[in-house]
């Protein structure tokens, strides 16, 4: 179940946020689908005789049961439904034992295997489902390698050569994610007419998206154009389209708002008190590469990104890298506790404790957090919003291994 969970969450959230014009309700579909669009699922599953197996479709109103049957004592079952276009279904015995199916009209799916592990069941007769399982298999292999790197990293806690070995592990992680990103882009290009690309667009490794609309806009737009042409009424497609349009609109607004603080421009000086009351200035760090990071103790995405900042600070601080964090907290107590809990050991923490009325945030036109600006030794912005592995890649490009 864990392999498919991220996609299930994406699909369900997309459905819940769909606009009121959606006509994808189950009742509408039943009225409009012709009988020659009937698909069937039959198979034999071990260890689950007598249990009820359910086929659900994600609609604008949530999950709708398409069919449910009791598995015979022999393990055999048969179920069916009607479609006028391919769609994604949840095939389950329970909420913790399920698989995703991408079914097209008239397909006959044959299922076999251990009913206690539906995600590993053998499924034949469905090209779309085959693509989903291909993605699942590739993701599992990548995640396994990432877990191995994490274990090796944990084992280096007392190693005298920890810094050098950590750099090697970090480089391996970068290469692994870059390779998987290339694979996903190729998969999307080769299967742009399939709903399986929705799964590919939202793959995650170590809880971090592999592709993003901001960084991989060309890929998202290519997929969107093809899917909207072929499946304009599909809820996952319409919500993907809305998500892209919303992101583009926000990006355009941010570009206008951030026109004065963009890549290539000089970073305005920031001079505000630290938790101890000492006034610290960004300009005092001229001569160093500095990451200006806007965050807050109450911001969950910020707190999830902090370990990445800590790791990069430990790796590159001795080479001249510095972090200048600007908090949008309301209280000094919450701010200080978050600094201590997240082990943010660098000196440069400032805030005016004015929440979204923060003057530094207004100065940089920051409308969401985390938000960051990487500046060079002259104070010029050379990159924005480098998160996760992208920050390590940029700093490696600057300082070397």
What's the half-sphere exposure (Cβ side, CA atoms, 13 Å) at 259? 4
Number of domains in the chain: 3
Structural domain that includes position 225:
130-257
Position 401 scores a pLDDT of 74
> Do 73 and 115 share a structural domain?
yes
Statement to judge: residues 306 and 232 lie in one domain: no
The lowest-confidence range among 2-11, 144-153, 201-210, 379-388 is: 2-11
* Among candidate residues 318, 331, 277, the one with its CA nearest the CA of residue 163: 318
In whole angstroms, what is the distance from residue 288 CA to residue 21 CA? 53
In a domain, 265, yes or no: no
Rg over alpha carbons for the chain, rounded to the nearest Å, is 25
Mean local confidence (pLDDT), 19-35: 39
**pLDDT grade for 31, boundaries at 50, 70 and 90:** very low
Residue 316 maps to which CATH number? 3.40.30.10
Higher pLDDT, 311 or 257: 311
Domain assignment present for residue 23? The answer is: yes
Predicted pLDDT at 33 = 38
Instruction: Classify residue 376: in a domain, yes or no.
Output: yes
CA-closest candidate to residue 116, choices 151, 92, 133, 86: 92
- pLDDT at res. 262: 82
Same domain, 285 and 377: yes
263 in a structural domain: no
Residue 264 lies in a domain: no
In a domain, 47, yes or no: yes
- According to DSSP, the β-strands at 108-114 and 38-46 are parallel
37 within 8 A of 83, measured Cβ to Cβ = yes
Reduce the DSSP state of residue 314 to 3 states and report it: helix
How far apart CA 216 and CA 186 sit, in angstroms, is 13
277 and 204, same structural domain?
Answer: no
Retrieve residue 45's tokens: 């599953």
- Of 79, 95, 125, the position where a domain reaches its end is 125
Residue 262 lies in a domain: no
With CA atoms as reference, report the closest residue to 275 among 325, 235, 319, 320: 325
Task: Assess whether 121 and 134 both reside in one domain.
Answer: no
Q: What is the CATH number of the domain that holds 23?
A: 2.60.40.1120
Q: What is the pLDDT of residues 198-253, one digit of tens each?
A: 999 988 887 778 888 877 889 999 999 999 999 998 988 988 898 888 877 766 65
């Amino acid at each position: 179940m864990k392999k498919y969970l991220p996609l299930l969450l994406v699909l369900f959230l997309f459905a819940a946020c769909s606009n009121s014009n959606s006509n994808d309700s189950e009742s509408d579909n039943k009225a409009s689908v012709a009988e020659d669009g009937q698909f069937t699922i039959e198979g034999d599953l071990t260890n689950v005789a007598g249990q009820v197996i359910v086929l659900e479709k994600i609609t604008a109103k949530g999950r709708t049961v398409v069919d449910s049957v009791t598995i015979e004592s022999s393990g055999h079952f048969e179920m069916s439904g009607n479609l006028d276009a391919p769609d994604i279904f949840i095939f389950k015995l329970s909420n913790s034992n399920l698989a995703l199916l991408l079914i097209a009209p008239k397909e006959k799916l044959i299922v076999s295997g251990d009913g206690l592990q539906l995600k590993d069941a053998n499924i034949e007769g469905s090209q779309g489902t085959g693509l989903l399982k291909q993605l699942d298999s590739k993701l599992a292999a990548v995640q396994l390698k990432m877990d191995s790197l994490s274990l090796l990293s944990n084992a280096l806690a007392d190693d005298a050569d920890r810094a050098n070995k950590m750099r090697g592990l970090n480089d391996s992680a970068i290469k692994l994610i870059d390779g998987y990103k290339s694979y996903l882009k190729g998969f999307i290009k080769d299967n742009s007419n399939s709903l399986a690309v929705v799964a590919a667009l939202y793959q995650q490794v170590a809880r971090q998206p592999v592709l993003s609309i901001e960084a991989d806009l060309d890929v998202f737009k290519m997929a969107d154009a093809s899917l909207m042409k072929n499946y304009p009424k599909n809820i996952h497609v319409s919500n993907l389209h809305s998500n892209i349009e919303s992101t583009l609109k926000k990006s355009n607004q941010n570009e206008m708002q951030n026109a004065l603080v963009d890549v290539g421009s000089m970073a305005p000086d920031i001079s505000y008190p630290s938790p101890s009351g000492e006034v610290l200035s960004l300009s005092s760090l001229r001569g160093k590469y500095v990451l200006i990071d806007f965050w807050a103790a109450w911001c969950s995405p910020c707190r999830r990104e902090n370990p990445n900042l800590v790791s990069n600070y430990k790796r590159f601080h001795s080479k001249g890298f510095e972090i200048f964090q600007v908090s949008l907290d309301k209280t000094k107590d919450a701010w200080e506790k978050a600094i201590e809990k997240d082990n943010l050991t660098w000196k440069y923490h400032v805030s005016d404790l004015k929440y979204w009325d923060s003057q530094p945030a207004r100065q940089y036109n920051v409308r969401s957090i985390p938000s960051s600006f990487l500046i060079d030794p002259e104070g010029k912005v050379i990159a924005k919003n480098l998160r996760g592995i992208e920050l390590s890649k940029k700093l490696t490009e600057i300082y070397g291994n």
